[in-house]
Chain A
Amino acid sequence: MPRDIEMQTENVKPILSVRNLSIWYGDKQVLRDLSFEVKQGQVTAFIGPTNSGKSTLVRCLNRLNDFTPNFRATGDILFRGVAMGAASDATALRKQIGMVFRKPIPFRGSIYENVAYGAQISGNNASTHLDTIVEENLRKTGLWSEVENILGETPEQLSIGQQQLLCIARALAVEPEILIFDEPCGELDPIETVKIETLVRELTEDYTLIFATNKRRQAARVSDVAGFLYCGELIEFGATEKIFTNPQDDRTEQYVTGRLG
């Protein structure tokens, strides 16, 4: 597989570098001195038990934590070599780094309006252009055939899995470079989970993906690179195969074998 070769080559350009990132909520430190790099075109997964800081970490990467009260961070996050934060434009950044949440959150309005939302807020209002965007992105997620005839209706009648696919289509319509998944299958049944996982594998051709999950096997199935977070520390970060078959740290081994967490 070409992707494996790419993974092994060390000189793939990092799209996102995190250096010495520490995060506090008030006085409570949630993440301790994290440093890692996300390479372009790979799936990077973060595994770890509940409350290990996975969500906090991935929410930092597109600055969603800015809205959290008492949030404080030190360290640098570099997107394409440019530090985010300081004077950078968070709105523009979030257009390049999209996010899919644990629970599907369809907006008010029709399925069509949901997918077109990103384009509309960017000032793209030509209806022919919007039609193309909606169809293209629904096709990418494989939802097009199911919703083709009910585009004008509300997304509430879709199943939870379909709603999650709709949310992915909505995030893709903004044309991001990186897409963050924060436990996207947390509320889904096994069949729908398989759909999402298959989609994630397909999306790696065009996007860089970051995946936070507390399901070990899921991380093993979808990711190229994995990081194990435990109590706010990045215990181990490396190729998924290595993390799951030959972990360096005791705690990682205990976690992947199911003795911890």
Chain B
Amino acid sequence: MNAMMTRALRKQERVSQCITFIILGSVGIPIWNVLQKTYAADTEAASAATPLNTLSPPLDNLYTVLSISFVAILFGIACAFYLQEWLPQTNWVRRFIESIVAILGGVPSIFYGILATGIFFSYAGTLKTIGVVRAPQGPGDGAALESLSFPHDTPVFYIVVLTFILMVMPLTIKTTQAALRSVATPIREAAYALGASHWQVLKTQVIPIALTQILAAGCRAMSSALATVALIFGIYVWQYTDAPGEMSNRFVLFLSSALLFSIFSSILIKLCTSASADPAHPTR
């Protein structure tokens, strides 16, 4: 019985939940670092070979798009799982986050672009002095930063990352939660009645049914975020940078690689869905 559950047990559960959440969340950061380092090493080697130089800008941009989205979406999905599966509906943390997500999810994406250009650009200098945005330290570090698709002396790169996360996360959380909710209670109960634990129910029933929807959710969030943010940044940079020709070029590449990625991922999702969507096996 719920009411009879001892307090100590509940506390234990809470602690283990928190630990899982932190582990899941922090997985993204080392991945990001490792990717960045390998990437820096790669470009140094690549810049030595002259013919590869012409290839690097589109690859730069594709790399940026892929890695940011990977981290942001992974974190969003982890958040949604925690909220939907582990926190009870009455929990204040869940209600708080859900209301924030509902508000952020309803904001038209163009406002994120305005937010990015307005707030983040104005405070970029402050962010740099307090150390949130890292200034280049030493020649080696500078080279690594310079090799990113955006020049290191303007913190555009970090602004893109921040805006992305702010924009992708609520959409991903919202749609992943909806996907998890779409797995009907009877299926879960039938699995529980056979003696499956919470993890086993998730692993064997819920995730297989909700997976395509979760992936689609991530891609949808990505595409909408990319389209608007890239456009706004394109306009900003085209207007205000010292070398407008070069920068707008870079942003056209950024935009096109983003578009390429979203088209590619949506095709992939379509293929996945048609392969697994058995008409006899609807997502009840």
Give the residues in chain B near A108, CB-CB below 8 Å.
205, 208-209, 281
Q: Tell me the complex Cα distance, A48–B187, Å.
A: 26
Q: B192: which of A72, A86, A94, A157 is its contact (CB, 8 Å)?
A: A94
Cβ proximity bits B1-32 to A, threshold 8 Å, 1 near / 0 not = 11111100100000000000000000000000
List 6 interface pairs A-B (beta carbons < 8 Å), by A numbering: A60-B1, A66-B1, A66-B2, A67-B188, A108-B209, A156-B280
In the complex, the answer to whether A157 meets B280 with C-beta atoms within 8 Å is yes
Give the residues in chain A near B185, CB-CB below 8 Å.
67
Q: How many residues of B contact A (CB 8 A)?
A: 31
Q: Tell me the complex Cα distance, A170–B185, Å.
A: 18
In the complex, the answer to whether A64 meets B186 with C-beta atoms within 8 Å is no
Q: B187: which of A85, A105, A118, A174 is its contact (CB, 8 Å)?
A: A105
The reply on B189 being an interface residue by CB < 8 A is yes
| A-B pair number, CB within 8 angstroms | 89
Most chain A beta carbons < 10 A, residue from B185, B193, B204:
B193
In the complex, the answer to whether A91 meets B4 with C-beta atoms within 8 Å is no
Cβ proximity bits B245-267 to A, threshold 8 Å, 1 near / 0 not = 00000000000000000000000
Question: Closest chain B residue to A66 by CB distance?
Answer: B2
In the complex, the answer to whether A98 meets B280 with C-beta atoms within 8 Å is no
Q: A64-B193, A94-B192, A174-B195 are in contact. List 11 more A-B contacts (CB 8 A).
A: A63-B1, A69-B88, A72-B2, A73-B3, A86-B1, A86-B6, A107-B190, A121-B197, A121-B200, A122-B195, A170-B194
Cβ proximity bits A56-68 to B, threshold 8 Å, 1 near / 0 not = 0000101111110
- The A contact surface, by secondary structure, is mixed
Q: A171: which of B4, B194, B278 is its contact (CB, 8 Å)?
A: B194
Give the residues in chain B near A92, CB-CB below 8 Å.
195
Q: B193: which of A77, A85, A98 is its contact (CB, 8 Å)?
A: A98
Give the residues in chain B near A84, CB-CB below 8 Å.
1
The reply on B196 being an interface residue by CB < 8 A is yes
Q: A64: which of B6, B192, B278 is its contact (CB, 8 Å)?
A: B192
Give the residues in chain B near A209, CB-CB below 8 Å.
none
The 4 closest A-B pairs by CB, nearest first: A95-B195, A156-B280, A85-B1, A85-B4
Which positions 181-229 of chain B face chain A at CB distance < 8 Å?
185-197, 200, 204-205, 208-209
Q: A101: which of B2, B186, B281 is its contact (CB, 8 Å)?
A: B186
Give the residues in chain A near B89, CB-CB below 8 Å.
69
Question: Closest chain B residue to A94 by CB distance?
Answer: B195
Q: Tell me the complex Cα distance, A171–B189, Å.
A: 13
What distance in Å separates the Cβ of B136 from its nearest Cβ neighbour in chain A?
A: 52
Question: Closest chain B residue to A180 by CB distance?
Answer: B193
Interface size class of A (residues with CB under 8 A): 35 or more
Question: Closest chain A residue to B187 by CB distance?
Answer: A105
In the complex, the answer to whether B204 meets A121 with C-beta atoms within 8 Å is yes
In the complex, the answer to whether A91 meets B197 with C-beta atoms within 8 Å is yes
The reply on A154 being an interface residue by CB < 8 A is yes
Q: Tell me the complex Cα distance, A174–B90, Å.
A: 34
Question: Closest chain A residue to B190 by CB distance?
Answer: A105
Given A66-B2, A85-B4, A91 and B196 contact (CB-CB distance below 8 Å): yes
The reply on A99 being an interface residue by CB < 8 A is yes
Q: Write the residues of chain A forming the contact surface with B, with a CB cutoff of 8 angstroms.
A: 60, 62-67, 69, 71-74, 77, 84-87, 91-92, 94-95, 98-99, 101, 103, 105, 107-108, 117-118, 121-122, 154, 156-157, 167, 170-171, 174
In the complex, the answer to whether B280 meets A118 with C-beta atoms within 8 Å is no
Most chain A beta carbons < 10 A, residue from B186, B195, B196, B197:
B195
Q: B205: which of A60, A107, A154 is its contact (CB, 8 Å)?
A: A107
Question: Closest chain B residue to A104 by CB distance?
Answer: B190
What distance in Å separates the Cβ of A77 from its nearest Cβ neighbour in chain B?
A: 8
Question: Closest chain B residue to A75 by CB distance?
Answer: B1
In the complex, the answer to whether B186 meets A73 with C-beta atoms within 8 Å is no
Given A107-B187, A174-B194, A174-B195, A87 and B200 contact (CB-CB distance below 8 Å): no
Give the residues in chain A near B280, CB-CB below 8 Å.
154, 156-157
Q: Tell me the complex Cα distance, A77–B1, Å.
A: 9
In the complex, the answer to whether B9 meets A87 with C-beta atoms within 8 Å is yes
Q: Tell me the complex Cα distance, A18–B187, Å.
A: 28
Question: Closest chain B residue to A106 by CB distance?
Answer: B190
Which positions 83-121 of chain B face chain A at CB distance < 8 Å?
88-90
Q: Tell me the complex Cα distance, A86–B4, Å.
A: 5
Q: Tell me the complex Cα distance, A32–B9, Å.
A: 28
What distance in Å separates the Cβ of B263 from its nearest Cβ neighbour in chain A?
A: 30
Q: Tell me the complex Cα distance, A69–B185, Å.
A: 12
In the complex, the answer to whether B2 meets A71 with C-beta atoms within 8 Å is yes
Question: Closest chain B residue to A74 by CB distance?
Answer: B3
Given A108-B209, A108-B281, A154-B278, A69 and B186 contact (CB-CB distance below 8 Å): no
Question: Closest chain A residue to B196 by CB distance?
Answer: A121
